[in-house]
A and B are shown apart, each in its own frame.
Chain A
Amino acid sequence: MSDVIRSTGAGADAAPASGEGSESGGLMRGIFGEGSPTFLTTRVDFVVNWARRNSLWPMPFGTACCAIEMMASAASKNDLARFGMERMSFSPRQADVLICAGRVPYKLAPVLRRIWDQMPQPKWSVSMGACASSGGVFDVYSMVQGIDTIIPVDVYVPGCPPRPEALIYGLMMIQEKIRGETLSRHHEHRSEPAADVGRPRASAVEVAALSLPFGNSTRQNRASGLVQTMPTERPGDRIP
């Protein structure tokens, strides 16, 4: 915002100097009345980022309980539309920011990756909740341990589930992030090698390093058939 004020200010300063002699209007007959300029100088980066960050269309990828809070943040009380997320875009082709709200099982991982691949650049993503960010309490055979192993993530919103305020704050952090982007480094930020489409974002070494502190499938120990600990009691055994 300050950028605009500075730009118009510069224009207004320049206007009297250039338009001093000409009474005929032209540049001098602006929308703000006589004496204001009809043009505006600013930076392309600023205008582009301003447009992008104020019309972020979310692609809701709600898979579990977190999605309820995502719906609540779009509903009237918290009203996501105030921040430019006017339209929940249920088609990835028209979306700008993917909100992954909920746990993602391995069966859904290729779907998530494909939806991300289908979204056009520029695009951002929010990982909402403990499950999407890290697998949460579901450290089990079927669950992706953090969607950042599948797609790049811009903002992680912690919580189980995060409150709507937290999600809105996360989206506003994306807006802040967009504010700092520049077109001259667009390619650097936004290019995706074709070979990456449909591939996991994290390498095998990274995924292994992420899951190692929590024990891997080969190191766990529990009352299973593999590691016999004690006899399991059947409910029926308790009947006299």
Chain B
Amino acid sequence: MPANLRAAHPSVVALDAHFGDAILGHELVAGDEHVVFIAPDRSFEILQWLREDPDQNYNYLSDVTAVDYGGGRPIQVVYQLFSIPYRRHLRLKAELPLDGLEIESIVPIWQSANWLEREVWDMFGVTFRNHPDPRRILMPEGYQEGHPLRKDFPLRGRFSRAEQTRRALSQDPEDYYVPSEMGAGRTPQLVPWQEFAGGRAPMSTQTDPSVEEPRKS
């Protein structure tokens, strides 16, 4: 990968400088989308730095998802970040071998990762260490067949249709539609406004002069 491609994205350069050997690779896809491969055991540290460093300030987590390319290849956990003040996109990928599907949860950094990580757990079986609520989110709570988006998962599930129907109807819908989750009986946690502003780089509308203006075409 020629060095000038890395230089096109300031965060990639900064990541290289800061984390050196934890940055395993860089890739440019679809013309101008920068993908950085990071070491899974240092993912938390890297992502926290990307959020808190005033020159990066990736304060918006667009998505956490995963990709399984099959054939025994590692599963990639994908973090799609966006920096609202700098208007910058960055995609980070951490490759997890199939026998060690575990990575640190980033809920302490971005609250929005909560459900997204639950979905990755549900669909791919990636365990997120220290996740506050490690439950399934899409499949029923008592789903026994595995993690459906993995390439080694049979298309129609592992059980016969009759068994699937029996299991589906043997559960009580109220088991997973918990009233307290719908809002009733839950005390809202009010966070003082200062907590958002203090300790974080203030939101600025100025863009970094070193960043090119977005192309208008």
A residues whose Cβ falls under 8 Å from a Cβ of B:
106-107, 109-111, 113-114, 139-142, 144-145, 149-150, 198-200, 202, 204-205, 207-208, 210-211, 215-218, 220, 222-226, 228, 231-232, 234-236, 239
Report the Cα distance A137→B171, complex, angstroms: 26
Q: A140-B155, A141-B156 are in contact. Are A110 and B165 (CB under 8 A)?
A: no
Which residue, of A109, A150, A210, A225, has the highest number of chain B Cβ atoms within 10 A?
Answer: A225
Inter-chain contact A144/B165, CB cutoff 8 Å: yes
Question: B154: which A residues are within 8 A, CB to CB?
Answer: 141, 217-218, 220, 224, 226
Partner of B173, one of A114, A144, A150, A218: A114
Total contacting residues, chain B, CB less than 8 A: 38
Q: A223-B70, A225-B150, A232-B69 are in contact. Are A139 and B156 (CB under 8 A)?
A: yes
Q: A144-B165, A235-B29 are in contact. Are A208 and B160 (CB under 8 A)?
A: yes
Inter-chain contact B29/A144, CB cutoff 8 Å: no
Report the Cα distance A107→B141, complex, angstroms: 9
Which residue, of A110, A199, A200, has the highest number of chain B Cβ atoms within 10 A?
Answer: A110
Report the Cα distance A239→B152, complex, angstroms: 26
Closest 5 CB pairs of A and B: A225-B152, A141-B157, A204-B162, A106-B168, A211-B161
Inter-chain contact B169/A211, CB cutoff 8 Å: no
Inter-chain contact B169/A110, CB cutoff 8 Å: yes
Question: A139: which B residues are within 8 A, CB to CB?
Answer: 155-156
Report the Cα distance A149→B166, complex, angstroms: 10
Inter-chain contact B166/A204, CB cutoff 8 Å: yes
Partner of A207, one of B69, B156, B161: B161
Q: A211-B161, A216-B160, A239-B29 are in contact. Are A224 and B152 (CB under 8 A)?
A: yes
B residues whose Cβ falls under 8 Å from a Cβ of A:
27-29, 35, 69-73, 138-140, 145, 148, 150-169, 171-173, 176
Inter-chain contact B169/A142, CB cutoff 8 Å: no
Question: A144: which B residues are within 8 A, CB to CB?
Answer: 165, 168
How many whole Å from A172's CB to the nearest CB in chain B?
31
Q: Which residue of B lies closest to A205 (CB)?
A: B162
How many A-B contacts at CB < 8 Å in the complex?
Answer: 116
Inter-chain contact B156/A215, CB cutoff 8 Å: yes
Inter-chain contact B173/A111, CB cutoff 8 Å: yes
Inter-chain contact A211/B150, CB cutoff 8 Å: no
How many whole Å from A236's CB to the nearest CB in chain B?
5
Q: A199-B169, A225-B151 are in contact. Are A208 and B162 (CB under 8 A)?
A: yes
How many whole Å from B177's CB to the nearest CB in chain A?
8
Q: Which residue of B lies closest to A225 (CB)?
A: B152
Partner of A107, one of B139, B159, B172: B139
How many whole Å from B149's CB to the nearest CB in chain A?
10
Report the Cα distance A167→B119, complex, angstroms: 36
Report the Cα distance A236→B73, complex, angstroms: 14
Inter-chain contact A107/B165, CB cutoff 8 Å: no
Q: A106-B164, A114-B173, A142-B148 are in contact. Are A220 and B70 (CB under 8 A)?
A: no
Q: A204-B162, A225-B151 are in contact. Are A140 and B171 (CB under 8 A)?
A: no
Partner of B169, one of A109, A217, A235: A109
Report the Cα distance A200→B161, complex, angstroms: 12
Inter-chain contact A200/B70, CB cutoff 8 Å: no
Inter-chain contact B165/A225, CB cutoff 8 Å: no
Report the Cα distance A210→B18, complex, angstroms: 59
Q: Give 17 CB contacts A-B under 8 Å.
A: A106-B164, A111-B173, A114-B173, A144-B168, A202-B165, A204-B162, A208-B160, A211-B160, A215-B156, A220-B156, A223-B151, A224-B153, A225-B71, A225-B150, A228-B71, A231-B71, A232-B73
Inter-chain contact B156/A216, CB cutoff 8 Å: yes
Question: B152: which A residues are within 8 A, CB to CB?
Answer: 224-226
Inter-chain contact A200/B166, CB cutoff 8 Å: yes
Inter-chain contact A217/B158, CB cutoff 8 Å: yes
Report the Cα distance A140→B157, complex, angstroms: 7
How many whole Å from B46's CB to the nearest CB in chain A?
20
Inter-chain contact B70/A225, CB cutoff 8 Å: yes
Inter-chain contact B139/A142, CB cutoff 8 Å: yes
Inter-chain contact B70/A141, CB cutoff 8 Å: no
